[in-house]
Amino acid sequence: MSKITFPSKAIFMCNGSKCGKHKEVKKYIKQLNKESGTDDKIEIFKMECSDRCKSAPIVYFQPENVWLEKADVAMCKELIEK
Ligand code: FES
The pLDDT tens digits for 9-45 are: 999 999 999 999 999 999 998 998 888 888 888 899 9
| pLDDT of the residue at 76 | 86
Which of 36, 74, 80 shows the shortest CA–CA distance to 62?
A: 80
Mean pLDDT, the chain, integer? 91
Residue ranges of domains in the chain, CATH in brackets: 9-81 (3.40.30.10)
| pLDDT of the residue at 36 | 83
| pLDDT of the residue at 21 | 94
* pLDDT confidence tier of residue 2, bands split at 50, 70 and 90: confident
Q: Characterise 24 by phi-psi region: left (phi > 0), alpha (psi -120 to 50), beta (else).
A: alpha
Query: pTM, whole model, 2 decimals?
Result: 0.86
Task: Spell out which residues line ligand 1, taking CB within 6 angstroms.
Answer: 14, 16-19, 49-50, 52-53, 56, 58
Query: How far away, in angstroms, is 4 Cα from ligand 1 center?
Result: 31
- Ligand 1: atom nearest CA of 14 is 2
